[in-house]
Amino acid sequence: MVNFETSDTLKRLPRQYFSYLAEKKKGYKEKYTDVIDLGVGNPDLPAPEFIVDELKEAASDPINDQYGPARGFDYLREAVAEYYLREYGVTLDPQKEVAILQGSKAGIVEISQCLLNPGDMVLLPNPTYPDYLSGIALAGAEVAELPLLAENQYLPRYDLISKEAAAAAKLMFLNYPNNPTSAVATPEFFAETVTFAEKNNVCVAHDFAYGTIGFDGERPLSFLQTPGAKDIGIEFFTLSKSHNMAGWRMGFAVGNASVIEGINLLQDHTGCGWYGGIQRAAAKALREDQSSVRALTATYERRRDLFLAELAESGLEINKPKGSFYIWMKAPGEFTSEEFMEFLASEAHVLVAPGDGFGSLGEGYVRIGLSQPDDRLLEAARRIARLSPYSVKV
């Protein structure tokens, strides 16, 4: 068999962190019994019944057996615009300011192909969702880091960006509620973001994947609610987290018309639309009463509180989440992220995601997902708490 060499483009790709993590977890599950996996960001609950029913009904409509419009059905783009107006007070032109995506990850990778040339500069948070790097690498672009530090509530400080990096940057990624730190953005921070982007002609790409998951009575802000935001950026949204539709692969981008047109143009060449039944179900999800979304957020808040209460006496340093469904936990003593992951796997049979996989400033932390039933989360917390004070490395 001939072993064909891959392109230089593929060689630029970074290690796919979640594929690496999946292999590690597979090994642990084969080695240990009764493993509790808290390392995933995969919702464990089913999609609401009314959405599933809409898909079933749409499957009997022969129009959905045909190729649909390359840019999605008008009714779905209109449902997106209605959703943003109702939920955030943001007005969108469904024809020019909405792009339908195969999950938000597709758009996150595509935007770099749409805006960047080899050698261009991207401002990227550290720690960050690793798949931003994939699109950047495919475009052959360079990265200037935005440190996310606990003392600044994991929000980047624009006054610390060098003049050279700010002037060279063409694109900036942000993500609030944040993965992995679970931080949320403030109105003041988003206003600063618009000012910085306008001054430096930088396109802001805000990943709003966890936009419906805010705790303690606080609702996460859409970046587009900020005056001027739509002029200088776009926002990615997915039904994966809000409606437990991760496997359905349905998301969208909204905002600046020129960027949206670039994404649509790229998808004209790389795709051929989405199954109409899923588009109908997505429109139903966006247009109907959002009580199921609120109930899901309440579930994650209850799980957060149960888990943290069980660990309250452990002595572990834990960032209490304000949003998303993650807990950002500092590894105790002299543990590295990888060592603490290994320790929890071998001693507690609990799997977590090591923070160094999200960037160098994630070193010394682990990310814990709340996508397990209450009883399993409580059991995991009890196992971890029993290991305190972690005498192996402290």
Same domain as 304, residue 282:
no
Domain count, the chain: 2
Question: How many CA atoms are closer than 13 Å to the CA of 88, on its beta-carbon side?
Answer: 25
| Contacts of residue 42, Cβ cutoff 8 Å, sequence gap at least 6 | 246, 369, 371
d(CA 229, CA 235): 9
Contact between residue 320 and residue 8 where contact means Cβ atoms under 8 Å apart: no
Query: Residue 6 to residues 10, 11, 109, 270: CA-CA distances in angstroms?
Result: 6, 7, 20, 20
Per the domain annotation, does 393 fall within a domain?
no
Per the domain annotation, does 362 fall within a domain?
yes
pLDDT of residue 40: 83
Per the domain annotation, does 6 fall within a domain?
no
Per residue, the 3-state secondary structure of 216-248, as one string, reads CCCCCCCHHHCCCHHHHEEEEEEHHHHCCCHHH
Give the burial class of 321: count Cβ atoms within 10 A of its Cβ; 0-12 exposed, 13-18 middle, 19 or more buried: buried
* End position of a domain, from candidates 257, 287, 317: 287
d(CA 226, CA 304): 29
Helix axes 74-88, 276-287, angle to 10 degrees: 20
Tokens at 112, concatenated: 């770099």
Same domain as 301, residue 235:
no
pLDDT of residue 389: 58
pLDDT of residue 394: 44
pLDDT of residue 16: 81
pLDDT digits (tens, 9 = 90+) for 137-187: 999 999 999 999 999 999 999 999 999 999 999 999 999 999 999 999 999
d(CA 8, CA 46): 41
Per the domain annotation, does 92 fall within a domain?
yes
Q: Looking at residue 378, which CATH number applies to its domain?
A: 3.90.1150.10
CA nearest 350: which of 341, 339, 363, 358? Answer: 341
d(CA 138, CA 9): 6
Contact between residue 326 and residue 188 where contact means Cβ atoms under 8 Å apart: no
* End position of a domain, from candidates 241, 266, 287: 287
Same domain as 271, residue 306:
no
d(CA 130, CA 135): 10
Per the domain annotation, does 4 fall within a domain?
no
Domain membership of residue 348 as a residue range? 15-44+292-386
d(CA 393, CA 330): 14
| C-alpha triplet 76, 82, 86: angle, nearest 5° | 145
Q: Give the pTM.
A: 0.94
Contact between residue 322 and residue 177 where contact means Cβ atoms under 8 Å apart: yes
Which parts of the chain sit beneath pLDDT 70? 388-394
Query: Residue 366 to residues 175, 206, 214, 241, 266: CA-CA distances in angstroms?
Result: 18, 24, 21, 21, 36
Query: Residue 252 to residues 104, 148, 296: CA-CA distances in angstroms?
Result: 6, 26, 21
Tokens at 255, concatenated: 């905002």
d(CA 285, CA 294): 13
Same domain as 299, residue 185:
no
* End position of a domain, from candidates 234, 260, 287: 287
pLDDT digits (tens, 9 = 90+) for 45-60: 999 999 999 999 999 9
